[in-house]
Chains A and B, each alone.
Chain A
Amino acid sequence: MRVLVLGASGYIGQRIVHHLQGSGWASALQASRRPVPAAHSSTGAQRLQLDTLDLGSLSAALAQVDAVVNCVAGSAHAIAEGARLLAAAAAAQATSPRIVHMSSMAVYGAQEGTVTESSPLDPTLGWYAQAKCEAEAHLRQHAQAGHPVVMLRPGCVYGPGSELWVGRIGRLLLNSRLGDLGEAGDGWSNLIHVDDVCAAVLAALHLPCSAGIAPTYNLSAPDSPRWNQYFLDLALAIGATPVKRLRYRRVALDAKLAGPMLKVGEKLMQAAGLATSDLPVPISPSLLKLWPQQIFLDPSASLRGLNLHLTPYGEGLQQSAAWFASTHRTATSRHTSA
């Protein structure tokens, strides 16, 4: 099976390509807006520079494959309009290729409690949630027209190499800007190991689809803890001790005062072609909303429907901490640096 991976230069996209190449039954065509760095061509996958907002080249790429995995990130426009164009391009093919769409738990918005795939969508959480909801709507329409679509709604995808949920969190912990947040960190982390997301994608490529319906699955590990516990476990594993108990107000102040400046600084440095890894991590407003949000992504449908055998949390944590220690030179205990 030839599989086009859109957004293949991203963290999840890269891992999916890797898993496809190792599957024995699939070969990946990895597409991204930016040229894919040479280091990632080790899988032997064919590379393609592609603007997903350009219907013509998208259609040309789709003509070469049996299925497409949509991991496009970026702006709201790239996500929502990209999904619309993808559906249009797929519908125009002689044989409509299957679309496996990476959605997000963000589509559930500010809801709390246990959410299943049939819970209502709520696009009010911000531009990202809105774009993700729009993307889903386009692809659902595409499915209703009889084309095969599977939608995956992962929680927070972590594991070795995860800048967002391991690198960023680890650096905040080392700098005592994050720790135990009490009730403000009592939300469920809904972590899902990146390899488990890949396993879900591979399963989704084979999943029987009945006409008119896009099977949709939450992806999160049922043993993933609440945020405070994750912060504590990661801090202990990377030596960011003693773990601080922080007032939410302090973290919120950090996000509101330092956040915008750091974000601008990051953009400027990126534009100037400078490395941003030494820059302090900004705490985004969405994180401030996420950590207290007691939303539990019910994964039972995916465990059954996609037959997943998830990485145990403890194992994923150790792998993540080991990756962090090997890539972050500052990952020494505050004890020793003090």
Chain B
Amino acid sequence: MIIDGNQVEEGSRLEADVCIVGSGAAGISMALDLSGRGLAVLLLESGVLEEDPASQDLYAGEVADERMHSPPDKYRQRRFGGSTAIWGGRCMPFDPIDFEARHWVPLSGWPIGYEEVARYYPLANTLAEAGACEYDADQAFDPDATAMFEGFRSTRVRTNSLERFSCPTNFARRYQKRLQLAPDLRVLLRANCTGIHLAPDGGSVRTLSVATLQGRRFSVAARQVVLAVGGLETPRLLLASRDVHAQGIGNQHDVVGRYYMCHIAGNVGSLQVAGPTSRVNHQYLVSKDGVYCRRRLSLTADEQRRLGVANMVARLHFPRITDPAHRNGVLSGLYLAKNLISYEYGKRLNDGAPPSVGNYLKHLRNVVADPLDTLGFLAHWLRKRSLAERKFPSVILRNRSNRFSLEIHGEQMPNPQSRVTLTNTPDALGLPRIQVDWRYSRLDIDSVKRTLDVFAQEFQQDGRLSLHYAEDQLEEDLTRFGAYGGHHIGTARMGDNPRTSVVDADCRVHGVGNLYVASSAVFPTSSQANPTLHIIAMALRLSAHLSAQLQARPPSQAQAPTLATEAD
């Protein structure tokens, strides 16, 4: 059932076996997975299906450096379905090496192994509508016909790592009917969790306070509470809930909000491939189940260990869009249309340099000089993206010159100085807004550099490929747009040691018996992967854990708590 929080009686107390706060990719996946297991599940959602400015404003906050990080209300959506309403759909699993303690990555090592999460990837793929759980390009496709570079062989550099694309699926639109019909699920819209209240000994959550922007207030008492509110909102709620622990929940050792990571990203270098353009496969592939997929460049795990570098991938990319010297009508058209594109997707079309009239004219000339290509692109975009249900994932140009740049997406080293804190400015419901101070380190850049060097060496070995990049420009290229938007990682990191982590191997907040986190907030390290698929897999792992726990320990009452409202 899906109802409006304003329909709940003022001052009442709702009971449930599991209360999930937040209905994004994690919250909806968990609710669907918990359904049918004899548990009463309550899902609290701040917004409604469409974007609501007042609800979205609850996400507003500050950033320490605007060039380094987007405002906190960008790249995330406070609405039913969460940020799946605007995500790009890129799915890929973490790698086994991501879970290892790597002495060259500070505080690395997950308290769980790859396999513990990997078994949830197939269902996560299904929920994300990313097709079969096959991420080895040489298994999913004909290795020769789809090779990234024909004939390229290397024992150090992989070209078979695959990314698959969700539609991108808006989880609320896609699954709202399932949520509506499930007799054991209740979704409350416009219901904001404004505080987590612990028992006096701090050992368990007693209630959650809930408020609507229309002024209705009530509380929730649940046997298990799950925060599925994303990597920025998780520390906010934990830090702002101070009625038992003055420093916030789970924050005895000042870890909540620290170690904040995104990804290091940017376009770098110039890769030239000798021979015909047919030798290179830079395009999207379509799998038998109809999913767009793409190969990526990466180092083998052994090579990462040998070099002591962080994990990273690179995709074949086109030249820098903002520079009209590329003489490409499509890219210039995109540049000129950047004001029509949403903040999240237009951001990387604006590299900080103030646009000059001369620059605009040069871009305009590119469009006029290249009308067929531009029109062809527009037609393709209209048919395969705007009008398509499964959307062509991104702009891919025809390869005319065998010259590419590399689009980097790299892991960041955990750093306690990179953090999310509370400000003194409250939002409309009285909860302090956040400030984001994202930092990167020299080590992050250096990891990319040393990885690129191996790519360059292996390409040179092949003889037909050559990669060049300006070492002195690398840091600028990788930080031009600041942190990669939308990947909010590490603010309630998982670990065995409460001095360096917030949640344990079961995603339970240290010291609090029934408070769990389902979010990229718990990732102790950030991998090369975009986080969504792993968030879903981790959420499914958590729902399996919770249902096992609850089924093993039935409530003390004769029957399970119902969803009925009772007066407080």
Contacts and interface: CB of A to CB of B under 8 A. Distances in A.
A183 interface: yes
Interface string B409-424: 0000000000000000
6 contacts: A182-B167, A183-B174, A186-B178, A236-B289, A245-B167, A245-B390
A179 B129 CA distance: 13
Interface in B166-183: 167, 173-178, 181, 183
Nearest to A112: B181
A179 B290 contact: yes
Contacts, number: 46
Interface string B123-162: 0000001000000000000000000000000000000000
Given A245-B388, A245-B389, A180 B177 contact: no
Interface of chain A, main secondary structure: loop
Interface string A231-253: 01000100001111111000000
A113 interface: yes
B383 to A, nearest CB: 12
Contacts of A243: 288-290
A52 interface: no
A190 interface: no
A35 to B, nearest CB: 44
A303 B177 CA distance: 28
Nearest to B182: A113
Contacts of A14: none
Given A113-B183, A245-B167, A294-B178, A182 B287 contact: no
A113 B182 CA distance: 7
A61 B181 CA distance: 47
A243 B131 CA distance: 10
B173 A180 contact: no
B288 A182 contact: no
Interface of chain B, main secondary structure: loop
A113 B167 CA distance: 26
A246 B290 CA distance: 11
Interface in A239-270: 241-247
A243 B289 CA distance: 5
A236 B176 CA distance: 28
Interface of A: 112-113, 179-180, 182-183, 186, 232, 236, 241-247, 292, 294
Given A113-B181, A113-B183, A242 B290 contact: yes
Given A246-B389, A294-B177, A180 B290 contact: yes
B289 A182 contact: no
The list of the 6 closest CB pairs from A to B, nearest first, reads A245-B390, A241-B288, A243-B290, A242-B290, A245-B389, A242-B286
A183 B177 contact: yes
Given A243-B288, A243-B290, A245-B390, 16 more contacts: A112-B181, A113-B181, A182-B129, A182-B167, A182-B174, A183-B173, A183-B175, A183-B176, A186-B178, A232-B289, A241-B289, A241-B290, A242-B287, A244-B290, A245-B290, A294-B177
Contacts of A244: 290
Contacts of A112: 177, 181
B527 to A, nearest CB: 28
Interface string B275-292: 000000000001111100
A236 B177 CA distance: 27
Interface string B368-411: 00000000000000000000111000000000000000000000
